[in-house]
Every structure is written in structure tokens, then in C-alpha cells.
Structure 1
Amino acid sequence: MREAVVIRHVAFEDLAAFADPIEQAGYAIRYRDAGIDDLTPEQAGGADLLVVLGGPIGADQDDLYPFLRAEREALRVRLAAGLPTLGICLGAQLMAAALGARVAPGPGKEIGWAPVALTDRGRAGPLRHLDHVPVLHWHGDAFDLPPGAERLAATPLCPNQAFALGRHALGFQFHPEADGRGFERWLIGHAVEIAATPGASVPALRADARRHGPGAAEAGRRCLAEWLGGLT
């Protein structure tokens, strides 16, 4: 059986709705917790699929979180080799940085459920399943489009919401994996950030997760299943 190595930065930001299509595509999922489990370029390169999940830290905060350097190097080696790689939020930012693109604070935080605007390239590929679907946004930093990558989606505040590098690499700034079922953990884990963000509130985010989570999860599963099918 093929193996999917999944780098997790905080326990509540897991694969969620993405777990099913990954397993259905024939991968055994193995989580590696950042800062606890070692990850070498050789380990990352040996995985049939590498997934790097989100987290509430900056992609360049090596002084505070030295493990980020190893993650970026593993991604650099893997992406250069054309191996299947998926990044979500912080994971996509780390992919962009590994490809030489700038990652920096955006003009404002995006926290909440809202659709993304797909580019022509986005509508022509797996992201078409997400068209007009409210998805979860939770970020303050943003990345420039990496060299050689294709922009797939945008929002007014963040022009680079998703990118593809060939067929083998896909990065999402937003959270297409979020299904709403475990969302209460997000509300607890990000309580301080929610309180400090104008316009964000726990009751509103909870209500929107109940309203939009199931539809977003189904669209996310279809999107990922199609992308995984194109790898073989």
C-alpha cells in the first residue's frame, strides 16, 4: 500500500474531510507532528504523497520554531523532484517559500466562511468542485505566486488563494479540508485570535460552520479525489 505522510502542526488542524479520499485512493495515512517527530528530506522524499497542514505560526519563524527549516528543505527537495505534494494554509506558505516566493503578512486577516474566485485554470481542474462554495479561511500571512506555478483562486484580500505546480503539487491558502464536524476545536484553540480580530466572533463562526461545513466538505472531497486521480 502507498503511504501518505502528513505533517501536522496543531492537533485540531488535521486532514478532516481529506482523509477519506486519500484512503480511498489507496494511501495509508501516517501523521508526523511538527516539532516532535523528526522529518528529514529522505523521509519526506520516500513518501508516495506528502501533505503539510496548517498552523498558527509564520513560515519563516525559524528562530522560534527551528523545525520549519527542515520542513522547507524537505519540500524544496521533494518539489524539485516532481513528487506529489499538497499544502494547506501554513503548508502552502511553506511550499511557496521552498520555491523561492515571498511569504509575509497580508493586508488583513481572513477568518470565516466565504467562497473563492476561481481563475480560468482553476475552473478547468479539480478546484471546479469548489466554485461558489463557501470555504473556511483562517490566515493573516499570504504568499506570492511561486515561480512556474499557476494561480487557481483568489479573494479580494488575498490574490493567491491556491496554486498548482505541474500535476504534482497543489497549495491552498484556504482550508478546503474543513468539514465543520471538529470545528469546536478550532474555536477553542484560536480563542485569543478570534477575540483580537475585528468582526470575528465565536457564535457567528460556529453558526457558519454548521451552515456551510457539510457542503464545503463534500466539495473538498470531490476536489481532492480528482487531483489524486490525476497523479496516477
Structure 2
Amino acid sequence: MKPFVLLATRAEDLPADEEYALFLRYTGLDEGSLRRVRLESEAMPDFDLDELSGIFVGGGPFNASDPPEKKSAVQHRVEAEFAALLDRVVARDFPFLGACYGVGTVGAYLGATIDRTYTEPISVVPVTLTEGGASDPLLAGMPRTFEAFVGHKEAISWLPERAVLLASSPTCPVQMFRVGRNVYATQFHPELDVEGITTRIHAYASHGYFAADELQLTLDAVRRAPVSHPSRMLGTFVERYAR
């Protein structure tokens, strides 16, 4: 089988390594068939898409909507690398699934409006499929409404017509979309379980996702309802696109 790639941007080793472990678990892949590239510390390789099965993107600390002067040199490099990659991915309709930062990368590439209108605190929210989502093969077998982990400072408030809206939540209208037939992006985190999001809450406690005195409230919020369905998408992605 041709390998899949996970493009990651987390600088902190513990949440970065746990993110990779979660993608391995829920895709069913091993380290040889899911190659990780940590873009915060190395340049994106010049991928030969003919030699890959598909591309995953994990979450991360970068906000596409930040003013240019507030972005680090690393963020500017990573954004330019994603723009160049998406030129080829979108043109070829190559299998791509971006989780959380997928909204920032694919959304920015499409010219979507990304701002802080629909931020969501770290929590569990009900995500509901649109008609397009209910008929999408990547979401086959998913309930029409399911619980998912979220936590983001920015979101899409306007999605171009060339993208198909697949899912929404009460507090964020664009939770998932598709471009073409094979390029996907989610605002929620399909790779997370409660242990994984707990690690991230502690790792990013000082990164502005919640106030200093809200740590316990945030830990309680991600336990308010069981989350079991989103991770199914990762296995389905592999089943559809492995070659």
C-alpha cells in the first residue's frame, strides 16, 4: 500500500506525539503506512502525489485570520507551503482530510471568510449533518447528529459556493465541508478521545483558549457527553483511498 501522510504543526512534543498516536489508532495504520511530518520544525517535502494514498492534517496553534504582523516566520512558511500543496491537491482532487487546521488551510485557500465570529470554547458539541453530509460516503453510517470535540479561536463565517457544506453545530455553522469529491476539512476533531483532549487542555492552558481559573470547568466540559462517532471517519478515509 502507498503510504498516507500526517502533516502536523504542534511544537509541544507530548500533544504532538499523542496526536500521531491517535491518528494511528483510529486509521488502523502503522508508522510505516502513516508518515508524520512536523512542519513546525521542518519544511514540507515536495510530495509526489502519485506515491501517496492520501494526506491528513492535524490541528495546531496557527490562526489563519491573525494579522500578518502577528504571524511568526514559521507560520508564514507553513501557510505558503500549504497553499502550494493545495494547488496540486485541489486540481487533482487528491484525497485530503484536514482536522481543525484543515479549516484554516483549505478555507483560506478557497477564499472563505475566516474570523472570530463563531469561536467555540473547548467542549463537546452536537454536530448535525446537512443533506450533503448525510449522503457523503466518508460519513456513511454516521448518525445524523453526533457529539464531537471542539475548541477553536477562529472559524469560517462564509463558505464559497464551490465547497459543499457537510455539517454544522448550533454555535458554528461550518463544522465540515468538501471540495470536489475527495478534499475534506473539519472544524471538529475526529481524531480525539477524552484522554487526548485532556492532554491538550493541560498543554495549552496558557494559550488563551480559556481563563486561568477555568481549567477544571474546561476539563468537565469535555466529559459532559460521550464522544464515539467522529473517529470512524478516519478509518473510512483509509478504506476509501488506500491504494
Contact 1:2 1:26 (C-alpha < 8 Å) held by counterparts: no
Determine whether 1:205 maps to 2:213: no
Determine whether 1:155 maps to 2:166: no
- Number of equivalences: 226
- Which deviates further from its counterpart, 219-228 or 92-101? 219-228
Contact 1:3 1:48 (C-alpha < 8 Å) held by counterparts: yes
Contact 1:20 1:221 (C-alpha < 8 Å) held by counterparts: no
- For residues 65 and 53 of structure 2, the distance between their equivalents in structure 1, rounded to whole angstroms, comes to 26
Pair 1:208–1:16, CA change in 2 (3 A):
farther
> Could you give the per-residue CA deviations for residues 102-149 of structure 1, whole angstroms, max 9, x where no partner exists?
322224433211111211121223435254332111112112324422
Contact 1:117 1:155 (C-alpha < 8 Å) held by counterparts: yes
Following TM superposition, the consecutive aligned residue runs of length 4 or more in structure 1 with deviations greater than 6 angstroms are: none
- For residues 229 and 127 of structure 2, the distance between their equivalents in structure 1, rounded to whole angstroms, comes to 13
The residue aligned with 2:3 is 3
The residue aligned with 1:132 is 145
Pair 1:25–1:102, CA change in 2 (3 A):
farther
The residue aligned with 1:57 is 62
The TM-score with structure 2 as length reference comes to 0.79
Structure 2 residue aligned with 1:119, among 110, 124, 130? 130
The residue aligned with 2:41 is 36
Contact 2:132 2:165 (C-alpha < 8 Å) held by counterparts: yes
Determine whether 1:229 maps to 2:231: no
Contact 2:99 2:186 (C-alpha < 8 Å) held by counterparts: yes
- Which deviates further from its counterpart, 120-129 or 174-183? 120-129
The 3-state SS of whatever aligns with 2:94 is coil
- For residues 194 and 110 of structure 2, the distance between their equivalents in structure 1, rounded to whole angstroms, comes to 32
User: What letter is aligned with 1:139?
Assistant: H
Unaligned runs of 5+ in 1: none
Pair 1:16–1:124, CA change in 2 (3 A):
farther
User: What letter is aligned with 2:184?
Assistant: L
User: What letter is aligned with 2:195?
Assistant: R
Contact 1:116 1:132 (C-alpha < 8 Å) held by counterparts: yes
The residue aligned with 1:185 is 199
User: What's the C-alpha RMSD, in Å, of the aligned pairs?
Assistant: 2.8
- For residues 188 and 40 of structure 2, the distance between their equivalents in structure 1, rounded to whole angstroms, comes to 23
Unaligned runs of 5+ in 2: none
Pair 1:111–1:207, CA change in 2 (3 A):
closer
Shift of 1:21: 4.3
Structure 2 residue aligned with 1:103, among 106, 111, 114? 114
Contact 2:125 2:169 (C-alpha < 8 Å) held by counterparts: no
Identity of aligned residues (%): 24
